[in-house]
């Protein structure tokens, strides 16, 4: 069995090596016969995961002939979680917010078991990976509230990570709108019933949250200072949007005052779910 495994490993690493070097780009060697190539122009950075860091991967696994075998999204602790060697080694060889390809013999991937129904046993693979710093812990929100992190940059990163569908940026870096239903456009001066749910922006995503604060009011369209700036600009740019979600930085919502009685601290980005009816 030892002789068989050694022979198999030698054959797989030779195969992986030939496929990795068949592309017109620079690849870097890793342990256990793996090769890696960043798709970024410059992979030099100081912000690399280390042992015990948590990273997030959007990844696809391909057979060496190019067939897609499986794809997943997951976060894991580098060097700690029970995952194939290729995950841990590639994570530490790359930057946060990096994209790369990895070629791996089966011993460093899913080995003699594969993934039933998706990846066969003893399958050398090519991985396509987008690696980011996971936002699940919500630490980014705490850092924003404490002034340690740029709010606009952090909120934009969260929206990209959450992959909110159909998102439209109405105020660059500050206000984004997701339209759910459309109706006859709002008319200046008319009065409509407005339902607003206010949420803290968190990893809870775009569904219901326990922290929601509800409000119902009669709104005369165009009345200044009746709504926060994010809602004013969103409804003026998209008057046809009858049901919509608005994500915004605090300077377009409750600013440095927040709303303490509703649990909204200073410098807190928020999400509004809005519906109007005539």
Q: State the 10-residue block means of pLDDT for the chain, 278 residues long.
A: 68 93 86 88 71 89 96 88 95 90 96 94 95 69 84 87 86 96 95 93 54 85 92 96 96 93 89 95
Q: What is the pLDDT of residue 76?
A: 86
Task: Report how far apart, in Å, the C-alpha atoms of 148 and of each of 18, 53, 139, 166 are.
Answer: 47, 20, 11, 30
Q: What is the pLDDT of residue 146?
A: 85
Same fold? 2-132, 139-277: yes
Distance between CA atoms of residues 109 and 121, nearest Å: 10
Domain ranges of the chain: 2-132, 139-277
Name the 3-class secondary structure at 175: strand
Q: Is 3.10.50.40 the CATH number for 2-132?
A: yes
Q: What is the pLDDT of residue 40?
A: 66
Q: What is the pLDDT of residue 167?
A: 93
CA nearest neighbour of 213 among 270, 164, 157: 270
Q: Which two tokens stand for residue 209?
A: 């949250």
Q: What is the pLDDT of residue 1?
A: 39
CATH label, 139-277, candidates 3.40.50.11600, 2.160.10.10, 3.10.50.40, 3.40.50.2300: 3.10.50.40
Distance between CA atoms of residues 260 and 200, nearest Å: 12
């Amino acid at each position: 069995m030892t002789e068989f495994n050694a022979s198999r490993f030698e054959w797989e690493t030779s195969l992986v090596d030939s496929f990795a070097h068949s592309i017109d780009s620079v690849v870097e060697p890793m342990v256990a016969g793996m090769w890696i190539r960043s798709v970024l122009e410059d992979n030099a950075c100081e912000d690399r995961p280390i042992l015990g860091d948590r990273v997030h991967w959007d990844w696809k696994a391909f057979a060496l002939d190019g067939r897609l075998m499986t794809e997943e999204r997951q976060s894991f602790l580098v060097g700690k979680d029970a995952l194939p060697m290729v995950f841990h080694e590639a994570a530490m060889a790359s930057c946060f917010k990096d994209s790369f390809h990895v070629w791996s013999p089966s011993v460093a991937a899913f080995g003699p078991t594969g993934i039933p129904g998706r990846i066969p046993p003893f399958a050398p693979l090519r991985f396509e990976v987008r690696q980011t710093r996971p936002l699940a812990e919500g630490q980014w929100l705490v850092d924003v509230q404490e002034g340690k992190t740029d709010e606009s940059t952090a909120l934009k990163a969260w929206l990209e990570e959450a992959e909110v569908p159909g998102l439209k940026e109405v105020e660059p870096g500050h206000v984004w709108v997701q339209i759910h239903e459309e109706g006859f456009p709002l008319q200046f001066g008319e009065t409509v019933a407005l339902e607003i749910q206010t949420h803290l922006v968190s990893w809870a995503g775009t569904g219901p949250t326990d922290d929601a604060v509800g409000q119902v009011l009669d709104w005369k369209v165009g009345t200044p200072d009746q709504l926060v700036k994010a809602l004013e600009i969103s409804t003026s740019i998209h008057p046809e949007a009858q049901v919509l979600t608005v994500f915004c930085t605090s300077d377009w919502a409750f600013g440095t005052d927040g709303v303490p009685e509703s649990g909204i601290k200073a410098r807190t980005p928020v999400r509004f779910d809005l519906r109007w009816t005539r």
